[in-house]
Copies of this chain bind each other. A is one copy, B any other.
Amino acid sequence: MDTLKVAIAGLGTVGAGLLKLLQDNHELLAARCGRPVEVTAVSARDRRRDRGVSIDGFAWYDDPVLMAREADADVLVELIGGSDGVAKAAVEAAIAAGRHVVTANKALLAIHGSALAKAAEATGVSLAYEAAVAGGIPIVKALREGLAGNDVTRVFGILNGTCNYILTEMRATGRAFDDVLAEAQDLGYAEADPSFDIDGVDAAHKLAILTSIAFGREVDFDGISTEGIRHITPLDIAYAEELGYRIKLLGIARKTEHGVEQRVHPCMVRRDHPIAHVEGVLNAVVAGGNFVGDTVYEGSGAGAGPTASAVMADLVDIACERYSPTFGIPAARLKKAETAALERHVGEYYLRLHVIDRFGVMADLTSVFRDERISLEAMLQRGRDPDEIVPVVFITHETDEASLRRALERISALDHVVEPPRMIRIEPL
């Protein structure tokens, strides 16, 4: 077969990593692809920057969209990032020109995935994005092909390494969120503007993609209830430990009687669940199916090497002519996304209050729970300190989120409750 010609848009750490991978593993790639794979064109902001790899042999384009349209290439690898703008324009141009697309762009897929899938099918090209979810872990392939025999019941996981690193460090050292975040920024694990990561947006992008593959639905990023980790305190982490849990930021999609739930938020997970042991910048995904049961996938969720590995897996598939519909089934057959409202979620909850330690406070609190028909599994008030502020923790039995939110609102308004109560969902997993 002919050489597979590749044009790369974006030469940051991942782009440079991909060039290095193509160089280092050249021989075995030729064997696995059954034909040569060669970079023919590249585009980036700065032609002269030192990337540790040479780009001399490749046609240079200042404009990635022009490259996508005109370069001598069978595949566009899009590593620019961002849901719109030039990344989207380049991908659309490549598809329109009948070229395959490989992208690491989770935001683009999460927001425009359904439309792009239709466009790719219309021109008969592959739109591949293994690198967009969980970095080097081949979870897209596992879910779309490896579990293709199953009616998938749920998919969830640790989808953001920055948050997992921060939560791991907070637990290991007892330090506060802001402190650990600053350290993560110094180490390059968090961006200067960290909100995309720590507010759960990045995890939600990835979850939107996984949900579509798992349930054969159009992407529905807007339907995801998203909560980040800014409000997690060392106190909550210590209580979690005491109660036998770990706090993890999870993205969760699962079938319920009200439809598919899609949510990203901090969770208390039992310490003996595999996901509780996934620490630092690692990612992990659990996918459950009606025949296979639960399967777990773990590895590096980011970084030049793992991301380049995932991009290359897509290129090998294309070189071998192994094509899959973007989300596992033809785009026209994807169901309209109907995401269940989080208010209908039913589960157990961890609640932590700060109250002034006086007689009668507990009676006020428990009467709120009684009124909202929320039954309690446990209450913890360590130590006494009359007239001072003390923490109180409640664990509820299963209750619906709407009732719980009403209770929290009423509790916030109570006299001796001194700051907004904190709630963390307990996931049975």
**Which residues of A are in contact with B by a Cβ distance under 8 Å?**
17, 21, 24-25, 28-29, 31-32, 34, 130, 136-138, 141-142, 145-151, 216, 274, 277-278, 289-300, 305-306, 308-313, 315-317, 320, 322-325, 328-330, 333
Taking a contact as CB atoms under 8 Å apart, the answer to whether A291 and B142 are in contact is no
Residues on B with C-beta less than 8 A from A322 are 145, 322-324
Docked pose: A293 CA to B21 CA in angstroms: 13
Cβ-defined partner of A290 (8 Å) among B24, B291, B333:
B24
Neighbour of A309 across the interface among B28, B150, B308, B329, CB < 8 A: B150
Inside 8 A of A311's CB, which chain B residues have their CB?
149
A294 to chain B: which residues have CB within 8 Å? 299-300
Partner of A299, one of B25, B136, B296, B306: B296
Is there contact, CB below 8 Å, between B136 and A309?
no
Decide: A295 near B147, CB < 8 A? Known: A274-B277, A333-B31.
no
Question: A313 touching B149 by the CB < 8 A rule?
Answer: yes
* CB nearest neighbor in B for A276: B277
Query: Are A151 and B292 closer than 8 Å at their CB atoms?
Result: no
Q: How far is the CA of A56 from the CA of B291 in the complex (A)?
A: 23
Chain B nearest Cβ from A165, distance in angstroms: 15
Of chain B, the residue at the smallest CB distance from A315 is B149
Kindly provide the distance from the CB of A41 to the nearest chain B CB, expressed in whole angstroms.
20
Verify A31–B293 contact, CB threshold 8 A. no
**Nearest-neighbor residue (CB-CB) of A319 within chain B:** B148
Residue of B nearest to A28 (CB): B151
A293-B298 in contact (CB<8A): no
User: Which residues from chain B contact A316 at a C-beta distance below 8 Å?
Assistant: 145, 148-149
User: In the complex where A216-B28, A277-B277, A324-B320 touch, is A147 in contact with B313 (Cβ < 8 A)?
Assistant: yes
Closest to A305 in B: B291
Q: Judging by beta carbons under 8 Å apart, are B313 and A146 in contact? A: yes
In the bound complex, what is the Cα–Cα distance between A312 and B146 (angstroms)?
Answer: 9
Q: Which residues of B contact A146 (CB under 8 A)?
A: 130, 138, 141-142, 313
How many angstroms from the CA of A320 to the CA of B277 in the assembled complex? 37
Contacting residues, chain B, for A317 (C-beta < 8 A): 145, 148
CB distance from A244 to the nearest CB of B (A): 15
CA distance A313 to B295 in the complex (A): 14
Taking the closest CB of chain B, its distance from the CB of A270, in whole angstroms, is 12
Q: Within 8 Å CB of A315, what residues of B?
A: 149
- Say how far A236's CB is from chain B's closest CB, in angstroms: 24
Which of A216, A297, A328 neighbours the largest number of chain B CB atoms within 10 Å of its CB?
A297
Q: Could you tell me the distance between the alpha carbons of A274 and B31 in the complex, rounded to whole angstroms? A: 32
B contact residues around A298 at 8 Å (CB): 274, 295-298
A125 to B107, CA, bound (A): 39
Residue of B nearest to A152 (CB): B28
* Chain B nearest CB, measured from A175 CB (Å): 21
Q: Is the CB of A32 within 8 A of B312?
A: no
CB pairs A–B below 8 angstroms (24 shown): A17-B291, A21-B149, A24-B291, A25-B150, A25-B151, A28-B151, A28-B329, A31-B216, A32-B329, A34-B330, A136-B292, A137-B295, A141-B142, A141-B145, A147-B309, A148-B316, A149-B316, A291-B306, A292-B305, A292-B310, A296-B298, A297-B297, A322-B322, A322-B323
A25 pairs with B149, CB closer than 8 A: yes
Chain B residue numbers with a CB within 8 Å of A34 are: 325, 330
Neighbour of A138 across the interface among B147, B278, B290, CB < 8 A: B147
Q: Are B149 and A138 in contact (CB under 8 A)?
A: no
CB nearest to A284 among chain B residues = B296
A325 to B321 Cα, complex, angstroms? 12
Evaluate contact between B136 and A330: CB separation under 8 angstroms.
Answer: no
With a cutoff of 8 Å between Cβ atoms, the chain B residues found around residue A149 in the complex are 21, 25, 29, 308-313, 315-316
Taking the closest CB of chain B, its distance from the CB of A189, in whole angstroms, is: 15
Residues of B within 8 A of A293 (CB): 136, 299-300, 305-306
Alpha-carbon distance A370/B245, docked complex (angstroms): 48
Chain B residues with CB below 8 A from A295, complex form: 136-138, 297-300
